[in-house]
């Protein structure tokens, strides 16, 4: 469903990705983790066609990501970023339905799909007419997820969607997102700084360092059999862990 082959890229001559090979099968959640500047978000932008790599091939839903296929690729994707990335002048409902309205969906179909997504994400229907500034951080993230799911794409890209939330709201959304992923069986690529969060969502964790794959596997494998001193130090820096004290 998703494949990255020998992906390399540099910004202003500074390498940010170096010969990355990754793949995710249909219905799998792949977690990308690592320190700031390691290339996590750049990989996501390459999959979305927002950045074209200097070399290598990115494939989404059997479509190679090229300048000529960007429209086709983006039809296969839902994309969620921190704080939802909502248009501030549009209501929650209008944010959710913007692509569907551009595609010419009729009013009854729009209403039905929004109600379905509100129930799925546990977003209160009375909040659909509110502007993003009138919503809580958790509610904005739920709207962002609804927007990403509106066209029922097979692939979801999530770039640290919960990073700005307080711990209680973050935990609640982690539970809800995990249930959504399991229910819908989408292919998901999730970027996070948090190893606990990565382990909560996925058994396939890819730890990046300086633009390369430092190690991939389960959280227990990264903790119990680190491939390098960097991996050991990164795991130790996570103060609490779903797999025990480290």
pLDDT of residue 9: 96
What are 208's strand-pairing partners?
213
Q: Are 181 and 193 in contact (CB under 8 A)?
A: no
Rounded Cα–Cα distance for residues 191 and 30 (Å): 9
Phi, psi of 150 (to 5 degrees): -50, -45
Instruction: Specify the pLDDT at position 246.
Output: 39
Instruction: Tell me the angle at which helices 107-121 and 137-149 cross, rounded to the nearest 10 degrees.
Output: 130
Instruction: Give me the pLDDT at residue 245, please.
Output: 40
Domain ranges in the chain? 1-76+191-246
Beta strands 14-24 and 2-11 are: antiparallel
What's the pLDDT score for residue 1?
85
At the topology level of CATH, where does 1-76+191-246 sit? Rossmann fold (3.40.50)
Q: What is the pLDDT along the chain (246 residues), one digit of tens a residue?
A: 899 999 999 999 899 999 999 999 999 999 999 998 899 999 999 999 999 999 999 999 999 999 999 999 999 999 998 777 899 999 999 999 999 999 999 999 999 999 999 999 999 999 999 999 999 999 999 999 999 999 999 999 999 988 878 888 888 999 999 999 999 999 999 999 899 999 999 989 999 999 999 999 999 999 999 999 999 999 998 855 444 443
- CB atoms < 10 A from the CB of 161, how many? 26
């Amino acid at each position: 469903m998703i494949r990255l082959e020998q992906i390399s890229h540099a910004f202003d001559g500074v390498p940010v990705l170096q010969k990355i090979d990754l793949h995710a099968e249909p219905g799998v959640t792949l977690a990308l983790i690592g320190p700031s500047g390691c290339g996590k978000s750049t990989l996501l932008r390459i999959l979305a066609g927002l950045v074209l790599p200097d070399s290598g091939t990115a494939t989404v839903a059997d479509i190679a990501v090229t300048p000529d296929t960007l429209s086709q690729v983006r039809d296969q994707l839902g994309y969620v970023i921190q704080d939802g990335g909502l248009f501030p002048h549009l209501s929650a409902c209008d944010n959710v339905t913007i692509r569907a309205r551009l595609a010419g969906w009729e009013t009854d179909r729009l209403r039905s799909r929004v109600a379905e997504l509100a129930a799925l994400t546990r977003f209160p229907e009375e909040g659909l007419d509110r502007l993003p500034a009138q919503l809580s951080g958790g509610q904005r993230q739920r709207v962002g997820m609804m927007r990403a799911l509106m066209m029922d794409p097979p692939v979801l890209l999530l770039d640290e969607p919960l990073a700005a939330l307080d711990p209680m709201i973050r935990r609640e959304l982690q539970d809800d997102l995990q249930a959504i992923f399991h229910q819908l069986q989408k292919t998901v690529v999730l970027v996070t700084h948090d190893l606990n969060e990565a382990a909560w969502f996925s058994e396939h964790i890819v730890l990046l360092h300086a633009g390369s794959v430092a190690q991939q596997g389960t959280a227990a494998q990264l903790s119990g059999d680190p491939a390098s001193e960097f991996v050991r130090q990164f795991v130790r820096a996570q103060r609490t862990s779903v797999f025990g004290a480290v």
